[in-house]
Amino acid sequence: MNENIFKKICNKYNLGNYKDYKEIIGGLTNKMYKLVTDSGEFAIKVINQDNLLNNPNLYNKIEKSEEIANIAFNNNINSVCAIKYNDKYIQEIDGNNILIYKWCNGIILKTCELTLEHVRVLAKELAKLHSIKVNDKVDIIKYNKIDYRKYYELLKDNDEEWSLLFRNRIDDLIRLYDKVYDSYLKLSDQISYVHKDFNRRNVLWNNNIPYIIDWETAIIDNPSIDYFNSAWFLTDDVQIDKYDVFASEYFSIMKLEDSINISAYASIIEECNWLEFSLKRALSMHSNDIEEIKLGKNSINGSLTEILNYYDKIPLMIEIINKINK
């Protein structure tokens, strides 16, 4: 992306006269730029072209996720959503696929900076999202069960640190994953709009008002998983006072159809799937890109630790929620 392309964006989408641009986020998945014109400031997300080519469903998935962001915005949720042009969110310019957003000023708070009031407000936003009536008919396709032993066998001669960490924990991982997957299969057919990545990094704060960003993973799915994952990340891994506030606010607005015991265990399914994805990247099964492989290797220990820590905290989560729902 260069200055000429940003000038074309300004002209094509009537954003005003070009003044300046700078890259604010760059990575293997997408790149984000700040575009300044005489009419205002905009965020331009450039979608990784290889990802679009390798995943033919990604274009429609992004369109649907941005539609969910707009539905959230129209239901009084502070959602930062892409601008729609010619009845679509993804725009094409000079071979680049882009999303255009109005710039949102705000800061990302560290976990330790989230107060009880911050947590309460975020729980309310999540409950509001899950409470929006879904008019679409959706058949939720369940994840297939992961065969972690397969990766164990592939790594039995690999003595790198990340490989040893995975192999040393394989028995604990399989034991808990069997319970997780069994619980996951028992989840009800309740559906809601879900963000799927509602954590502190995807919330911008401006004068203590949260603005939710990065709806790229948003889908229609069972809200139980979204609740438990969001609560985990936003309460500093179940800090008791924060978790109590989060759960109290959420359940005062939203009701989950699944039993707390089942949904609490089922919700680790997302992190378990992420661990498998990291293993595939580390083993060059996803891509031969050196940076992708490195990212996969560096993610293994973090995912394993997250899964085991979450699993250990489940009894505490259940205890807190049951007290609230009495």
pTM of the model: 0.94
Tell me, yes or no, whether 134 and 76 share the same domain.
Answer: no
What pLDDT band is residue 26 in, cutting at 50, 70 and 90? low
Tell me, yes or no, whether 79 and 128 share the same domain.
Answer: no
For the stretch 264-310, pLDDT in tens is 999 999 999 999 999 999 999 987 889 889 999 999 999 999 999 99
Range of the domain at 85: 3-102
What pLDDT band is residue 52 in, cutting at 50, 70 and 90? confident
Tell me, yes or no, whether 190 and 304 share the same domain.
Answer: yes
Residue 153 has pLDDT above 80, yes or no: yes
What is the per-residue pLDDT for 56?
A: 83
Contact in structure between 193 and 166 (CB atoms under 8 Å): no
Tell me, yes or no, whether 172 and 301 share the same domain.
Answer: yes
Domain count, the chain: 2
Tell me, yes or no, whether 85 and 120 share the same domain.
Answer: no
> Under the phi-then-psi rule, with left for phi > 0, alpha for psi from -120 to 50, and beta for the rest, what region is 68?
alpha
What is the per-residue pLDDT for 286?
A: 81
Tell me, yes or no, whether 44 and 80 share the same domain.
Answer: yes
For 74, the 3-state DSSP assignment is coil
Q: From start to end of the chain, where are the E strands?
A: 18-25, 30-37, 40-47, 91-93, 96-102, 192-194, 203-206, 209-212, 219-221
Q: What CATH number should be reported for the domain holding residue 32? A: 3.30.200.20
For the stretch 58-67, pLDDT in tens is 999 999 999 9
- Using CA atoms of 182, 186, 189, 192 in order, give the dihedral in degrees to the nearest 10: -60
Mean pLDDT of 212-228: 96
As a whole number of angstroms, the distance between CA 98 and CA 91 comes to: 5
What is the per-residue pLDDT for 137?
A: 81
Tokens of 221: 């799915």
For the stretch 242-270, pLDDT in tens is 999 999 999 999 999 999 999 999 999 99
- For the chain, what percent of residues have pLDDT higher than 70? 99
Residue 134 has pLDDT above 90, yes or no: yes
For the stretch 172-201, pLDDT in tens is 999 999 999 999 999 999 999 999 999 999
CB-CB neighbours of 193 under 10 Å: 26
What is the per-residue pLDDT for 30?
A: 84
Tell me, yes or no, whether 280 and 312 share the same domain.
Answer: yes
Tell me, yes or no, whether 125 and 95 share the same domain.
Answer: no
What pLDDT band is residue 28 in, cutting at 50, 70 and 90? low
What is the per-residue pLDDT for 54?
A: 77
Mean pLDDT of 13-39: 90
Tell me, yes or no, whether 52 and 197 share the same domain.
Answer: no
Which of 102, 126, 141 finishes a domain?
A: 102
As a whole number of angstroms, the distance between CA 133 and CA 179 comes to: 31
What is the per-residue pLDDT for 301?
A: 96
What pLDDT band is residue 27 in, cutting at 50, 70 and 90? low
Q: What CATH number should be reported for the domain holding residue 214? A: 3.90.1200.10
Which of 56, 82, 102 finishes a domain?
A: 102
| Average per-residue pLDDT for the chain | 95
Mean pLDDT of 24-51: 87
Residue 136 has pLDDT above 70, yes or no: yes
Which of 102, 131, 165 finishes a domain?
A: 102
Tell me, yes or no, whether 51 and 169 share the same domain.
Answer: no
Residue 84 has pLDDT above 90, yes or no: yes
Tell me, yes or no, whether 233 and 91 share the same domain.
Answer: no
Residue 19 has pLDDT above 60, yes or no: yes
Tell me, yes or no, whether 82 and 194 share the same domain.
Answer: no
